[in-house]
Amino acid sequence: MARIRNTARLFRDPAYALALSELDKEITRGGVFRVDPEGWFSRPAPIEVEIGAGKGDFIVARARAHPTSNFLAIELGGSAFHWLMRGVIDAGLPNVRALHADARSVVNLLLPAASVAAFHIYFPDPWPKNRHQRHRLFSPPFVAGLARCIRPDGVVYLATDVQPYFCVLSGLMRAGGFELVQRPETDDLRGAFGRKFERAGRQIFRACYSRSGLSKPSA
């Protein structure tokens, strides 16, 4: 109940209402839903995308640390997205935007080809029961979508606390033409799940993948 009350307060905030209104205009310009990262930011720059951004702790911190890049945070959960938007608004950074959408549709259909410098996908729901696995984010079509969107020099960062699921993800990425590469770790523990699992002492399994297999350092 407290979460519902807190979320409701967001809608009464004029700054929040204005931000949502402007977002609606941008994604439906011309009467057609579209994802146009270059049109959403004030300058052209490499774009990084976080899928399942939650409340935005990671993406906002990374946008602040890397002001020469643009950042898009995608979140499907309604309540989480409202708090993500609140975090983006409060940060006041020109290089981070939030999108309420199913990442599978965005990656498979809506993002421009060869447009993303880095994907950040941290702690996706493993849906461990067999009857629920159809709900998993990762599938061969989704990995094909990542390959379509990633730039030739782009990378995909992954992290999970579930080792069997990490093995599944690794297999899907390899089957989709990605290769494991060595890159500087990102601060994926900054998000809510990362902090929670770190406090609990749970092992985190991380990987970074590239379509080219090159191990050039990334920003």
The rounded distance, in Å, linking the Cα atoms of 72 and 74 is 6
pLDDT of residue 183: 72
Domains of the chain: 1-26+71-101 (no CATH), 102-219 (3.40.50.150)
Among 26-35, 63-72, 202-211, the range with the most confident prediction by mean pLDDT is 63-72
Judged against a pLDDT cut of 70, whether residue 27 lies above it is answered with: no
Judged against a pLDDT cut of 50, whether residue 4 lies above it is answered with: no
Q: Which residues are catalytic?
A: 125
Judged against a pLDDT cut of 70, whether residue 34 lies above it is answered with: no
List pLDDT tens digits, range 57-85. Answer: 999 999 999 999 999 999 998 888 988 99
Return left, alpha or beta for 101; rule: phi > 0 is left, psi -120 to 50 is alpha, else beta. beta
Cβ proximity of 23 and 101 under 8 Å: no
Q: What is the rounded average pLDDT for all residues in the chain?
A: 81
> CA of 109: how far to CAs of 116, 161, 186, 200, in Å?
14, 29, 27, 38
Spatial neighbors of 167 by CB under 8 A, at least 6 apart, are: none
